């Protein structure tokens, strides 16, 4: 599976919740109750939009196509790891 980083614009809505859009992927609009939920929905919408472009033979938006062309074969990421330890009693 190919991956790339898609910049999202997330804004708080007056009526509550959040709205995400992506300048680099026209048509991406996602709404959720929390920022986290909104990002998760946006990720799914982005994936489905890109699959639709490919399914119908439409050209990908320029920045998306460029990101997929130059994707690295390896990457380094930092992930949070929760630890629960108690000091050793001597």
Structure tokens at 4: 């790339």
pLDDT of residue 71: 62
pLDDT of residue 70: 74
Structural domain that includes position 64: 1-90
Total structural domains within the chain:
1
Compute the average pLDDT of residues 72-84: 75
Q: What's the whole-model pTM score?
A: 0.73
For residues 68 and 11, which has the higher predicted lDDT (pLDDT)? 11
Spatial distance between the Cα atoms of 9 and 42, rounded to a whole number of angstroms: 10
| Tens-place pLDDT, residues 17-73 | 999 999 999 999 999 999 999 999 999 999 999 999 999 999 999 999 888 787 666
Please report, for the domain that includes residue 85, its CATH number. 3.30.160.250
């Amino acid at each position: 599976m190919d991956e790339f980083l898609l910049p999202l614009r997330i804004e708080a809505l007056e009526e509550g919740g959040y709205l995400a859009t992506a300048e680099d992927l026209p048509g991406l609009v996602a709404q959720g109750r929390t920022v986290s939920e909104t990002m998760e929905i946006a990720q799914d919408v982005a994936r489905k939009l890109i699959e639709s472009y490919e399914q119908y033979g439409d050209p990908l938006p320029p920045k998306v196509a460029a990101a997929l062309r130059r994707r690295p074969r390896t990457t380094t990421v930092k992930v949070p790891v929760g630890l629960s330890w108690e000091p050793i009693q001597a």
